[in-house]
Amino acid sequence: MEAISVVFTNLPFLLLGAWDTLKLTFFAVLIGLVLGTFIGMGRLSKIKFINIPSTVYVEFLRGTPLLVQISIVYFGLPQLGIQLQAYPAAIVALGLNSGAYIAEIVRAGIQSIPKGQYEAARSLGLTHWQTMRYIILPQAFKNILPALGNEFITLTKDSSLASVIGVTELMRRGQFVITRTFQTFSIYFGIALIYFIMTFTISRIVRYIEKRMAVA
């Protein structure tokens, strides 16, 4: 009972961390979505100076641990004269990482659209960018919505790594509580439940949007 009471006593403090986690994830996904869209299209480009950097970006970010990327942004960039506070550094690192994964999602979504639609749009006089903007991307985003939802959920959980650079999100606040109370199991279990509630809610929202966008 004491362990449960400790969790409930510190619940408001932990929920503030959960709110910071959601904000961190939202801004990171926003960056990742913008980057991923352009880089995903760059991966499909036949122009080498666009395709090659896009491929290198995706392969490097997907092939290195997120914790290392966070450390590079927060501890490494100051040596190059770029100083970021912990929270912005976490957003940048998570956003860059998310961009690599979303780029592959966007690439697959674009490739899922029949080539005939692109050819028909071009035959009507639309430019390449007009075709992508008005014809291809809207359909592609509808197809990749479940994958984007999974990326949002994954990033929500991965945001706990930001605690290593002092970002006071949910995991970091939980560590503060453990330092005061020494209730390791109950606090970590409470943190796990809060993460589960957040990710479950996000999955339900994505499912609802997916059904709304479904076409008979």
pLDDT in tens, the chain (216 residues): 666 778 778 888 999 999 999 999 999 999 999 999 999 988 988 888 889 999 999 999 999 999 999 999 999 999 988 889 999 999 999 999 999 999 999 988 888 888 888 778 778 777 877 888 778 888 888 888 888 889 999 999 999 999 999 888 899 999 999 888 888 888 999 999 999 999 999 999 988 888 877 654
The domain limits of the chain are 2-213
Give 93's contacts (C-beta < 8 A, 6+ positions apart): 66, 69, 70, 72, 73, 74, 162
> Which pLDDT does position 117 carry in this prediction?
80
pTM beyond cutoff 0.85: yes
Which superfamily does CATH assign the domain made up of 2-213 to? MetI-like (1.10.3720.10)
> Which pLDDT does position 216 carry in this prediction?
46
The closest of 27, 25, 56, 24 to 39, measured between CA atoms, is: 56
3-state secondary structure string across the chain: CHHHHHHHHCHHHHHHHHHHHHHHHHHHHHHHHHHHHHHHHHHHCCCHHHHHHHHHHHHHHHHCCHHHHHHHHHHHHHHHCCCCCHHHHHHHHHHHHHHHHHHHHHHHHHHCCCHHHHHHHHHCCCCHHHHHHHHHHHHHHHHHHHHHHHHHHHHHHHHHHHHHHCCCCHHHHHHHHHHHHCCHHHHHHHHHHHHHHHHHHHHHHHHHHHHHHCCC
